Amino acid sequence: MKSETPRNLALSVLNGLSHRPILSGSYLDDISRRNAQLDERDRAFISHLVQGVLRWRLRLDWIIEQTSDFPFEKITPPILNILRLALYQILFLDKVPESAAVNEAVNQSKAHGAKHVVSFVNAILRRVCRRRDEIRLPDRDGDPVHYLSVFYSYPAWLVKRWIKEWGIDFTEGLLSAGNRIPSFIIRTNILRLGRHELIERLEEEGMRARPTPYSPQGIIVEGLRGRPDALSSFKEGLFQVQDQAAQITSHLLAPQPGENILDMCAGLGGKSTHLAELMGDRGWVLALDINHGRLISLGRNSLRLGIECVTNLVADASRSLSSLFHFNFDKIMIDAPCSGFGVISRHPDGKWNRNEEDIERLAVLQKGMLGEAACLLRSGGKMLYVTCTISKEENEEVVKDCLKHHRDMSLVNMKGHVPEWCLDLIDDQGFLRTFPHVHQMDGFFAALFVKR
């Protein structure tokens, strides 16, 4: 395309995801790197468009199918993404004039097809603008799964699964919450200052900030313009970006100064660095991950936060780890790879990148990781299993499997082992369980084990 407008760049991201379905954030970061002339407003608009289309894709496709005389399955991905992008602006963005969305889509379609394609795009969009109130959704009473799937834009198999596990009313709350734009949450680096001091500092930098209701280090930030890593408070290592639910899990393991702790799936190190902070940076946190690039980022984060007790190691946590270590750990964190359906509001592309077979595959992987961890834990040591998903197959059933195959492991009822501020997040079985529509945070599950 001749003009790299924000809408054109958003379209290129969506087209890239059609060919290679990975996390949209990777494409957005790439777009930012290759278009340094973009200001923060344009970057935010591009991200908003991409995330919005991914969030509402199924409902947008339903509307296209209802208003088109051409078979939906024969619409090519580039034209389909042009329609999705324009419809999202028309139906969900009050501040974008309908004419601007339609005209831009028509211009985009000229670069992707012949005259009849341009006419097709123009006709559908103008029809929706004229008849938006006449578009019918599936019958809620006759086919509630189909209705909820289209109305909230989720795959039907997932809606059906959640209704079976949680009931229809609870499921509708989950679906609705997953479509909200999430709050921006950070974690205070208590090695350098207190939460109240950081709130004052953020307000000096032009933002509004208030404490999270649960995590004692969490802050909800509003009014951020641009990237958080551009803030001087970030560069000085005063905070780490991390959702409240993820912050809470580190407190459940209750790390103490001087302990040896293994973080088996460290990723970018949100939990590794938090564990180190809670230990006063005294002891040892071994951050293990299969991805070398993520561990490089973890190392930079540790340096920025002033943390010295974290060591990085590239290894596959699903393979035998006993040959790597000639000692046992006091505590182990297993933030296992999962379907991620508890963080859909942050990663709406997860709706479309997962299928039902993935849940079964991931559950097998998780069981293997728990088995590896159990062998590396000292007697009397504690192990925390964490996921950011809602599926019982990846949560309770994985816990049951661990107890069945490792008789020296016992489940700890966390009701008697957590701070008072956390008590109402622990269910009757002693598990941590947070739901986006109930607790206004990511959906997490955690189970605490002790080795007899």
154 and 229, same domain (yes or no): no
For residues 288 and 193, membership in a common domain is answered with: no
422 is catalytic: no
Does 231 lie in the same domain as 257?
no
- Mean pLDDT in the chain? 93
| Cβ atoms of residues 402 and 374 within 8 Å | yes
Number of separate domains in the chain:
4
Final residue belonging to a domain, choices 76, 106, 134: 134
Q: Which residues contact 298 (CB under 8 A, 6 or more apart)?
A: 266, 267, 268, 269, 272, 273, 287, 289, 310, 312
Q: Do residues 268 and 389 share a domain? A: yes
Mark whether 30 and 106 lie in a shared domain.
yes
DSSP state of 443: -
Indicate if the pLDDT at residue 24 is higher than 60: no
Q: Does one domain contain both 278 and 316?
A: yes
Q: Tens digits of per-residue pLDDT, 307-344?
A: 999 999 999 888 878 778 888 999 999 999 999 999 99
What pTM did the predictor assign? 0.93
17 and 89 fall within a common domain: yes
Determine if residue 153 is left, alpha or beta; phi over 0 gives left, psi from -120 to 50 gives alpha, anything else beta.
Answer: left
Say whether both 447 and 369 belong to one domain.
Answer: yes
Asked whether the predicted pLDDT for residue 1 surpasses 60, the reply is: no
Mean pLDDT of 269-293: 96
Is 170 in the same domain as 237?
no
Statement to judge: residues 66 and 169 lie in one domain? no
Q: What is the CATH number of the domain that holds 40?
A: 1.10.940.10
162 and 217 in one domain?
no
Neighbour-count burial for 159-193, b at 16+ CB within 10 Å, e otherwise: bbbbbeebeeeebbbbbebbbeebebbbbbbebeb
From 265, 309, 338, 388, active-site residue? 388
Asked whether residue 139 is domain-assigned, the answer is no
Question: Closest Cα to residue 354, out of 337, 335, 340, 369?
Answer: 340
Pair (337, 437) in one structural domain: yes
CATH at residue 274: 3.40.50.150
185-229, pLDDT tens digit by residue?
999 999 999 999 999 999 999 999 999 999 999 999 999 988 899
Say what percent of the chain tops pLDDT 90: 83
Question: Per the structure block, which two tokens stand in for 150?
Answer: 């289209």
Range of the domain at 129: 6-134
Q: Give domain status of residue 115, yes or no.
A: yes
Report the pLDDT value the prediction gives residue 40, as an integer from 0 to 100.
82
In a domain, 347, yes or no: yes
**Distance between CA atoms of residues 149 and 87, nearest Å:** 18
d(CA 409, CA 190): 33
Q: Does the pLDDT at position 38 exceed 90?
A: no
Angstrom distances, CA of residue 46 to CA of 31, 150, 184, 241, 343:
9, 24, 18, 21, 21
